[in-house]
Structure 1
Amino acid sequence: MSEPVEVRVEKRFRHPRERVFDAFIDPAHVGDWLFHTPEGVMEKTDYEPHPGGAFAIFERRATGLARHFGRFVAVEYPDRIVFDFWVDEAPEEPTRVTVTFAVEDEGCLVVLTHDLAPAWADFAERSAAGWMMILTSLEDVVERT
């Protein structure tokens, strides 16, 4: 059995980690940033950010309906969030995502790691770009809330 391929992205926020963490777990705004694309239209955002809670986020895109699913493993305020993640193309192969929030200067550093299944290794670069877009969208939400 092959080892997972780790995708890692980092984003610095000028806001305290508690504020960024709160935005990450806020169900009211999740459709504005998580798996949101500029051209997409959110159709469903079920989001229960607590250990054992699940999410289902569906966005209508030019290519069809993008369906993202997950189950929260850990929500440790304000330090870390861990969830298992899958898309409808691979529901039998959930992957692990870990997000940490560290104090840095007057803001925070968010580090997201995604352990891709070896079968998805060719998508590592695309996944990193997607996660960075997601964290940038999260920053936009933090800025306006």
Structure 2
Amino acid sequence: MRHRRTWRNRAAHAIRTLGYIDADDEQRRRFVKNPLRDDAEDLLYFTGDRGRYRPDGAIDIFGRGDDQVKINGVRVEPGEVAAALSQHAAVAACTVLARSDERDELFLAAYVVATAATHPTVSELRAYLSARLPAALIPSAFVFLTRCR
């Protein structure tokens, strides 16, 4: 089987959003000039999906180029949740990942290394994140680790 090149999915539509609020860098990264048109207003939107054409002309979409996931219909960037969690005084290091449960449904799991001085509780971390993030972005599981590599 011959290797087929993959690409980042771009979309265009006659009606376009006004863009991202207070996020000029994201705006420039996601909306790019259509190289097939000589019109500065004709923009393409990078969706974040990865895909490729099949030999029959159909398109396979097989994942994302970033860590964005959808959990219960809500778009989630686990890295943003980890960034908020890492600001807690008792967190030395952390990461947040999307995991699957036994029904194959996604949820967020936070992996936390506590500082040497204190060890936060799950309730404390949930309350901390709840004050900073929407409820849909609060991890369902917290795993405490003694160290990370």
TM-score, normalised relative to structure 1 = 0.29
Of the two structures, which has the highest relative contact order with CA contacts closer than 8 Å and spacing of 6 or more? Answer: 1
The structure with the largest helix share of the pair is 1
Instruction: Give the structure with the larger strand fraction.
Output: 1
- TM-score normalised by length of structure 2: 0.29
